[in-house]
Chains A and B, each alone.
Chain A
């Protein structure tokens, strides 16, 4: 048989013993990471389909008497293929789902305390993954080169361009000139389909490798059932694989469902780029940065000598988001643990950390709502107040609840 033939040469039995029996603990929150992974697989597959027809060029070509950018024209062509528009929307939706799943995945790790020793490295690797995913979303967004994406990408250019001293050089390099220069779309395309996917694949590989080496952390209740140091769960093959296949097909069908009923980024609606600017909003996962940019008063300028200054765009678009991401990345190093933590830690052991996490989520939501401030007609002063007050309220409420629970437990 084929298996026997291969086994004699490759020692498949050893592989089976060693890896296919790897134990996976079971809990629904383990699926967040898997959903992110499967969305990435779907992004690659649909991305390859799009590559067959997409033209990475903003050069104007004449179509039916009108001059439109070649990239935009190729998107119209994709849309007219039998499955083209669905594949495009699946690609775009998969980008959203991947980032959403990543956020949920990070929240699970955060609230169960599993960023702590020995898993600090994988927390950092995860932050790199998250950043790469956002960069992939940003560069992909620019590719259709319609009225919406050209303006949105132009704002990205302006934020980079406003960094004092080095900004113009960075922006020119990243966008191959002042966006939209003739070289911009080819370069963003290169990032989107070559550089970032390669980095993502490598980083995902590292993430998985470390995870296999360190073994899963497991739900607290497993401590009472299995011996300490043993993982309670199901083997990779066949049980976990069938679960994974289920999650994969579930993700795929949800994506096709979303793509069929909720078009995202309908390029025909926005049309090719014009001199007028459409109402632009960044994708939801960047809306918080957009919110910060709106909150910062225009006169917040930090002068740096006579020739340069730090402008509000830089404060709101780069410095504050950078500080926030750095704080998140450094979370594991705020705890000093002697013993490695291999179980989920009850939130009551980290009252401050947990409350800060909840406060952060509330701030993320508040800033995102601020993105819609004009449409909702909320005065900006009110936005400034609630962005500061609501997270503080959330912090104290969570802290209070945890403390009271703890006291009740002690009294019992």
Chain B
């Protein structure tokens, strides 16, 4: 066999081997793509159940969880976490409190308030932690406010849950209230989107 021919055979053998290796690799990768393609994003697109007029509010936490909240239960300056009855899902979590009616000012929706009872979504608009009702002085805020323990956002309950401090980007949505049979009930749905919005939408 001449030197040149020998080289040619080797060169072509190498080319064939390379081609085969490439094909094997591509095939193996292709096979892997198939199972990956079957991974479905979990169907978490359950819509929040809308709150409608007449939904009674029940305690969300504590020993009375699930019981309806009566007007007489919440004395002045008292507050609680609540759910619309039968629609107890996280995004429907409400913070309900009782304050002096005369304290509320615009942009609070005054017609959403009944007898000093006021309710906001309890889901912080920053990253979705649960806000807390603070009737007393805390830090430099010596008036009732809502406070988020995660990054210390402070919401002004008397001015439409305006953000007074902290990183929260939007006020909390407000929930219209009414009273039916001495029980506090919703008079409609929240006036805005709940909690943090994905992708800055």
Asked whether any CB of chain A lies closer than 8 Å to the CB of B58, the reply is no
Q: Given A164, A176, A380, which contacts B165 in the complex, CB threshold below 8 Å?
A: A380
With a CB–CB cut-off of 8 A, which chain B residues contact A274? Answer: 61
With a CB–CB cut-off of 8 A, which chain B residues contact A377? Answer: 139-140
With a CB–CB cut-off of 8 A, which chain A residues contact B41? Answer: 169, 172-173, 177
Using CB atoms, name the residue of chain B closest to A317.
Answer: B127
Asked whether any CB of chain A lies closer than 8 Å to the CB of B198, the reply is yes
Asked whether any CB of chain A lies closer than 8 Å to the CB of B126, the reply is yes
Q: Known A164-B200, A304-B200; judge A178-B149 contact (CB<8 A).
A: no
Using CB atoms, name the residue of chain A closest to B83.
Answer: A275
Instruction: Please encode chain A, from 275 to 302, with 1 for each CB lying within 8 Å of some chain B CB and 0 for all others.
Output: 1111110000000001001101111010
Asked whether any CB of chain B lies closer than 8 Å to the CB of A373, the reply is yes
* CB under 8 Å from chain A, chain B span 161-186: 163, 165-169
B167 touches A162 (CB 8 A): no
A373 touches B199 (CB 8 A): no
With a CB–CB cut-off of 8 A, which chain A residues contact B139? Answer: 374, 377
With a CB–CB cut-off of 8 A, which chain B residues contact A321? Answer: none
Q: Given A168, A279, A380, which contacts B198 in the complex, CB threshold below 8 Å?
A: A168
With a CB–CB cut-off of 8 A, which chain B residues contact A278? Answer: 149
Nearest Cβ in chain A — how far from B130, in angstroms?
4
Name the residue in B44, B90, B163 with the highest tally of chain A Cβ atoms < 10 Å from its Cβ. B44
Q: Known A161-B196, A162-B198, A304-B200; judge A275-B130 contact (CB<8 A).
A: yes
The chain A residues found within 8 Å of chain B, CB to CB, are 151, 154-155, 158-159, 161-169, 171-173, 176-178, 181, 183, 274-280, 290, 293-294, 296-299, 301, 304, 307-314, 316, 373-374, 377, 380
**Can you list 27 A-B contacts (CB < 8 A)?**
A155-B129, A161-B196, A161-B198, A162-B196, A162-B199, A164-B199, A168-B199, A169-B41, A172-B42, A181-B42, A183-B42, A275-B60, A275-B130, A277-B150, A290-B151, A294-B167, A297-B167, A301-B200, A307-B201, A309-B201, A310-B200, A313-B126, A313-B167, A313-B196, A314-B200, A374-B139, A377-B140
